[in-house]
Amino acid sequence: MREIVLDTETTGFDPESGDRLVEIGAVELIRHMPTGEQYHQYINPQRSVPEEAIQVHGLKDDFLRDKPVFKQVAQDFLDFIGDSKLVIHNAAFDMKFLNAELRWLDMPQIDYSRAIDTLDIARKKFPGSPASLDALCRRYGIDNSARTLHGALLDSEILAEVYLELIGGRQPDLVLASASDQSANNDANGDVWRPGPRPASLPSRVTSEESEAHAEFVTKLGKNPLWSRFN
């Protein structure tokens, strides 16, 4: 199972009012484990970055001026995410910007059903408690000391750790799989594999000397020792 943990930085809050993407960061998970594969891109928004946005992510006009525009990187981004689920904190925000940029290029939209919103998961798991990324890092003891400013790639890496904790810890696959997940274990005929007895017992690894010593020990346990019921 492949998932992409994703974050964006923008010039503001509303693409329909002229705000644009300035950074995309994403990391790949396979079966909930980071693979080291990542996507990171700064983007020229083709407009000035308001001071309020600079206070959040620190990306200024001079830095972004020579970066590619979204049209130049859109296909590479889509190729990286493929058809994987997208793990996003406050997914509605990032999805509206990504889809606005794609729509302006007449490119296919990303279906919202692909988004796994960690903000929604956190609010359901801890109702009434702060659910920001920083708050969740404090809750789970995740080091976010490098996060002096928002950065799409760093935030994606931190969110990947938070996501693992939200879904049950660092070994989530130890829990029982759902019925839908069992389809991955079907054989070519569509039958679900289930454990059963071996067709032939494994040969004993107990030596004759060990067997004799054990039998002698059992005789010293008195009449009708419990062990004899299973022998």
Catalytic residue positions? Answer: 150
How many Cα atoms are found within 13 Å in the side-chain-facing hemisphere of 121? 18
For the chain, the farthest-separated pair of C-alpha atoms sits apart, in whole angstroms, at 92
Question: b/e string for 31-42 if b means 16 or more Cβ within 10 A?
Answer: ebeeeeebbebb
Beta carbons within 8 Å of 168's beta carbon, 6+ residues apart? 175
Beta carbons within 8 Å of 184's beta carbon, 6+ residues apart? 1
